[in-house]
C-alpha cells in the first residue's frame, strides 16, 4: 500500500483525472479516495457490489 501511494501521490491522481476530464465538478468526488477505494477495496475482492464499493469509498474519503 505504501509503495502504491508513493508511486501515485494524491496530486498526481488529481492532475491526471483533470487532464482526462474525469471530474466535472471540483470536490464533488475525491479522486484519490475513489482510486484507493477501488484498488484496495472493490477490485481486491473485499466486496464486489456497488453498495460495497460505496461503503469502501465513504470509509476512505471519511464521508457519508
CB proximity list for 45: less than 8 A, separation 6 or greater? none
pLDDT digits (tens, 9 = 90+) for 17-64: 889 988 777 667 888 888 888 887 766 665 678 888 888 888 888 876
Distance of CA 51 to the CA centre of its chain: 15
* CA-based end-to-end distance of the chain: 24
How is 8-47 classified by DSSP, letter by letter?
S-HHHHHHHHHHHT--SSTTTS-HHHHHHHIIIIITTTS-
Name every residue whose Cβ is closer than 8 Å to that of residue 5 and which is 6 or more positions away in sequence.
36
Ranges of each domain in the chain: 10-18+30-62
pLDDT on residue 46: 57
pLDDT band at 4 (very low <50, low <70, confident <90, very high): confident
Amino acid at each position: 500500500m505504501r509503495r502504491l501511494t508513493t508511486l501515485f501521490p494524491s496530486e498526481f491522481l488529481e492532475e491526471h483525472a483533470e487532464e482526462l476530464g474525469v471530474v466535472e465538478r471540483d470536490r464533488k468526488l475525491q479522486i484519490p479516495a475513489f482510486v484507493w477505494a477501488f484498488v484496495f477495496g472493490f477490485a481486491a475482492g473485499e466486496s464486489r457490489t456497488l453498495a460495497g464499493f460505496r461503503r469502501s469509498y465513504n470509509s476512505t474519503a471519511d464521508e457519508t
